[in-house]
């Protein structure tokens, strides 16, 4: 039986500014905590927001809802693109809209739909370039799950085995990280652990609904919203994932877990939680 040895410490800070939302952020709450922060980070009254709804099969209603919220929050301009085909994401007009934006918002839906329509297109490549140059990119639900280089596509999460999670290439906005959303639902822990067994050394994030992480290029990740973010340090010492059948339970040892509510932060370079003052 083979073993995966402990992975050396690695920095997970190699990305631009991101706001990653676990889904179900409430746009009608009187005390919204996440979407106002997105508009603020995008420039406030000077924000030029681009809504990308490539993940959803019903972009019109999604556009109306987010456009209303972002305008009410004070954004100067709100534009929306849906990308029904990959050809639409290769259009020069789509890249121009991206270049004019100060913040991009990737909506929910199906992350496979999002990546199959956007990844590797002119828009997708330019999104990664602009993100690394400092453009704010936010995503909720499917839009959040698709941000890493490797994404959790779907999976029942019935137990910790290879068959409980499907992995696929993501958009590449944040290497060496895995994101799972709606993490307060059942089965999510199982599939993150199974994903870590197949990708030892990455950082796993489980983000509750109406909860988000604000990722700063300086290497700090801050939690905001109403739930918690579960951080899995995937530097495992042993896994037998390569030696068992896809539907058989797998072993995974020495994965470290942190549960962080709003006000807590995480040092992505030191891979250590930051405890707020009492």
Write the CATH number for 159.
Answer: 3.40.50.880
Total tally of structural domains belonging to the chain:
1
Asked whether residue 7 is domain-assigned, the answer is: no
pLDDT of residue 170: 98
Residue 235 region, left (φ>0) first, then alpha (ψ -120 to 50), else beta? beta
Catalytic residue among 25, 63, 141, 214: 141
Return the exposure string of 164-190: e unless at least 16 CB atoms fall within 10 Å of the residue's CB, then b: bbebbebbbbbebbbbbbbbbeeebbb
The whole-number average pLDDT for the span 72-78 is 97
What does the alpha-carbon distance between residue 207 and residue 213 come to, in Å, rounded to a whole number? Answer: 8
The whole-number average pLDDT for the span 105-134 is 98
Residue 31 CB coordination number (10 Å):
7
> Residue 278: pLDDT above 70?
no
Which pLDDT tens digit goes with each residue over 131-171?
Answer: 999 999 999 999 999 999 999 999 987 899 999 999 999 99
Catalytic residue among 53, 182, 190, 214: 182
Helix (H, G, I), strand (E, B) or coil at 115: helix
pLDDT of residue 18: 98
Asked whether residue 76 is domain-assigned, the answer is: yes
Asked whether residue 2 is domain-assigned, the answer is: no
Asked whether residue 152 is domain-assigned, the answer is: yes
The whole-number average pLDDT for the span 173-177 is 95
**141 is known as an active-site residue:** yes
Which residues constitute the domain of residue 226?
18-264
Instruction: Return mean pLDDT, the chain.
Output: 93
Catalytic residue among 25, 53, 82, 209: 209
Q: What percent of the chain has pLDDT over 90?
A: 88
What does the alpha-carbon distance between residue 157 and residue 33 come to, in Å, rounded to a whole number? Answer: 29
Angstrom CA distances, 251 to 3, 98, 177, 195, stand at: 10, 44, 21, 12
Which pLDDT tens digit goes with each residue over 219-266?
Answer: 999 999 999 999 999 999 999 999 999 999 999 999 999 999 999 999
pLDDT of residue 3: 39
Asked whether residue 149 is domain-assigned, the answer is: yes
pLDDT of residue 31: 85
Q: Which residues pair with 79 in a beta bridge?
A: 50
What does the alpha-carbon distance between residue 90 and residue 118 come to, in Å, rounded to a whole number? Answer: 9
**12 is known as an active-site residue:** no
The whole-number average pLDDT for the span 113-136 is 98
The whole-number average pLDDT for the span 198-206 is 94
pLDDT of residue 11: 65
Q: Using 50, 70 and 90 to split pLDDT, how confident is the model at 5?
A: very low
Q: Using 50, 70 and 90 to split pLDDT, how confident is the model at 130?
A: very high
> Residue 200: pLDDT above 80?
yes
Q: What percent of the chain has pLDDT over 70?
A: 96
């Amino acid at each position: 039986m083979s073993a995966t040895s402990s992975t050396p410490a690695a920095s997970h800070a190699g990305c631009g500014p991101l706001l990653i939302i676990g889904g179900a952020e409430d746009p009608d709450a009187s005390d919204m905590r996440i979407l106002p922060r997105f508009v603020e980070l995008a420039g406030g009254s000077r924000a030029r927001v681009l809504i990308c709804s490539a993940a959803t099969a019903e972009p019109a209603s999604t556009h109306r809802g987010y456009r209303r919220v972002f305008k009410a929050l004070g954004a100067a301009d709100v534009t929306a693109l849906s990308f029904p085909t990959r050809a639409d994401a290769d259009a020069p007009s789509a890249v121009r809209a991206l270049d004019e934006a100060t913040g991009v918002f990737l909506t929910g839906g199906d992350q496979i739909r999002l990546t199959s329509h956007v990844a590797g297109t002119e828009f997708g490549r330019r999104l990664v370039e602009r993100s690394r140059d400092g453009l704010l990119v936010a995503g909720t639900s499917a839009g959040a799950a698709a941000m890493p280089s490797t994404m959790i596509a779907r999976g029942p999460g019935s137990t910790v085995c290879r068959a409980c999670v499907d992995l696929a290439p993501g958009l590449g906005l944040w290497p060496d990280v895995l994101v799972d959303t709606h993490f307060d639902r059942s089965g999510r822990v199982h599939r993150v652990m199974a994903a870590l067994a197949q990708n030892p050394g990455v950082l796993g994030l489980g983000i509750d609904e109406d909860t988000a992480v604000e990722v700063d290029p300086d290497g700090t990740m801050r939690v905001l919203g109403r739930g918690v973010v579960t951080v899995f340090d995937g530097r495992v010492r042993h896994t037998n994932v390569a030696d068992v059948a896809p539907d058989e339970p797998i072993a995974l040892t020495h994965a470290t877990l942190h549960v962080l509510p709003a006000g807590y932060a995480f040092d992505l370079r030191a891979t250590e939680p930051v405890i707020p003052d009492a």
